[in-house]
Amino acid sequence: METIEIANCPSCGCNHKYQGISEPRDISIARVAVQPINKTTRLLICPKTGSMYQAIITTSSNETSVETSPALPTDIALYESAKKELIDSIETVKKFLQSMISLSAGLIPAYLALLSFTSIDWKNTSYLLKVMVLPCKVWE
């Protein structure tokens, strides 16, 4: 992992080090390697103040330079919106799973009641029909 050092943070004026900020990678399009753009923009959070700022990281063959500026309000709003959407999507999946487990457990007695209502003679039916139609009935 690459370590990026930020000199003169726009929020507090101190120096900060961030690990795990990856460099742009080569992109393969139709078997042709496309060189990455050597400038990337990252939103970083100041460890002291907790405010967000923008870092433009320029990479060359032997050197990495970083320019910082305060984050734009639109960038902060997009970041907060994406964070809220991720949290909401996890909650939505949890609620969906809870409702589907309750629904499927509740429908088993209804399924068995409908099968008994049809009054099929289960003793004379073939094994294949029993497996296809009644997977959870205990045969005699």
Pairing of strands 16-19, 32-34: unpaired
- 57 domain-assigned: yes
- 139 domain-assigned: no
Which amino acid is present at 2?
A: E
In a shared domain, residues 12 and 67: yes
* pTM of model > 0.75: no
Domain coverage including residue 19:
3-23+34-71
- 86 domain-assigned: yes
pLDDT score for 136: 52
b/e burial code for range 21-30 (CB count within 10 A of at least 16 → b): beeeeeeeee
Compute the distance between CA of residue 56 and CA of residue 102 in angstroms, rounded to an integer: 50
- 104 domain-assigned: yes
To which H or E segment does residue 63 belong? none
- 63 domain-assigned: yes
In a shared domain, residues 113 and 60: no
Compute the distance between CA of residue 16 and CA of residue 49 in angstroms, rounded to an integer: 12
Closest CA to 114 of 131, 136, 93, 92: 136
In a shared domain, residues 44 and 58: yes
Q: Which residues of the chain have pLDDT under 50?
A: 1, 26-28, 138-140
- 60 domain-assigned: yes
Find where tokens 């309000």 sit. 73
pLDDT score for 26: 47
Compute the distance between CA of residue 7 and CA of residue 9 in angstroms, rounded to an integer: 6
Q: Which two tokens stand for residue 23?
A: 């460099």
Compute the distance between CA of residue 92 and CA of residue 90 in angstroms, rounded to an integer: 5
